[in-house]
Amino acid sequence: GDAAAGKAKSTTCAACHGRSGISMIPIYPNLAGQHQSYLSTSLKAYRSQQRKGGNAAMMWGIAASLSDDDIDDLAAYYASLPSTK
Shorter beta-carbon distance to a second copy: residue 34 or 70: 34
* Min dist. Cβ of residue 10 to a second copy (A): 19
The one-letter amino acid code at 20 reads S
- Type and span of the H or E element at 74: helix 68-80
* Min dist. Cβ of residue 8 to a second copy (A): 24
* Min dist. Cβ of residue 19 to a second copy (A): 16
- Per the CB < 8 A criterion, the answer to whether 21 and 31 are in contact is yes
Q: How far apart are CA 49 and CA 33, in angstroms?
A: 24
Shorter beta-carbon distance to a second copy: residue 50 or 65: 50
- Per the CB < 8 A criterion, the answer to whether 79 and 72 are in contact is no
Q: Which residues bind a second copy (CB under 8 A)?
A: 23, 26-30, 33-38, 41-42, 44-46, 48, 50-56, 83-85
- Per the CB < 8 A criterion, the answer to whether 8 and 77 are in contact is no
Shorter beta-carbon distance to a second copy: residue 5 or 16: 16
